[in-house]
Chains A and B, each alone.
Chain A
Amino acid sequence: DSGVTQTPKHLITATGQRVTLRCSPRSGDLSVYWYQQSLDQGLQFLIQYYNGEERAKGNILERFSAQQFPDLHSELNLSSLELGDSALYFCASSPSGKGGPGEKLFFGSGTQLSVL
């Protein structure tokens, strides 16, 4: 158990809909990261938040947005969903997010999103 909690574990929805994925980081971790994993693209970094502020951005679509709340949990919002958005979405957390050499990322078990 990594200590990172993601809900829901599975989500089935239709094209054009909007969903929200939730992540609770490990106790004390200030940084949250979101990743998307699909069969053809592998693990792709989407976005990082540190203590409530956006820190780094990756290949995140404009239809996707995220935020980190004062209690440090994070939500990833996916809107106008398309079939190609079907994927596993992982959240990870780390103590500081400054990328020090030994800083580890701890990943949750993911949310499997299926867009039908």
Chain B
Amino acid sequence: DAKTTQPNSMESNEEEPVHLPCNHSTISGTDYIHWYRQLPSQGPEYVIHGLTSNVNNRMASLAIAEDRKSSTLILHRATLRDAAVYYCILRDRAGGTSYGKLTFGQGTILTVHP
């Protein structure tokens, strides 16, 4: 699986936007960019995914660079409940030999201050 690089930690204040970066310079043309997050004492949960275009859902927005070598997860108004570890993961569109599994890196620990 292609590798992603994320900052170890970031901090934000409540109700402010948060931009979580992810570098994936070796991304292939068939890789989708997925984001999951893991709240304290819980299993990871899906946040958002995209291929080339920016994506929005009720949880967050995903901004993908034109060359696809980086992406940014945007939380528009951070809440205390958004404090979690955020994982940026590349997944091959065709599945291939990795099938459905996800390969997690170290992620970014997001701290949200009241």
A72-114 toward B: CB 8 Å interface, digit per residue (1/0)? 0000000000000000001010101111111111111110000
| A100-B44 in contact (CB<8A) | no
Count, A-B residue pairs, CB within 8 A: 81
Taken together as a complex, chains A and B put the C-alpha atoms of A42 and B99 apart, in Å, by 21
A58 within 8 A of B: yes
Given A102-B49, A107-B45, A97–B99 Cβ distance below 8 Å?
yes
Taken together as a complex, chains A and B put the C-alpha atoms of A97 and B101 apart, in Å, by 7
Residue of A at shortest CB range from B104?
A43
Interface size on A, residues (CB 8 A): 32
| B100-A42 in contact (CB<8A) | no
> Quick check: which of B11-19, B66-74, B90-98 contacts chain A, the rest being far away?
B90-98
| A99-B96 in contact (CB<8A) | yes
| B103-A45 in contact (CB<8A) | yes
Q: Which residues of B contact A90 (CB under 8 A)?
A: 43-44
Write the residues of chain A forming the contact surface with B, with a CB cutoff of 8 angstroms. Answer: 2, 4, 31, 33, 35, 42-45, 48, 50, 55-56, 58, 90, 92, 94, 96-110
Write the residues of chain B forming the contact surface with A, with a CB cutoff of 8 angstroms. Answer: 32, 36, 38, 41-46, 49, 51, 87, 91-107
Name 6 A/B residue pairs within 8 A (Cβ), A-sorted: A45-B104, A90-B44, A94-B100, A98-B100, A105-B102, A107-B42
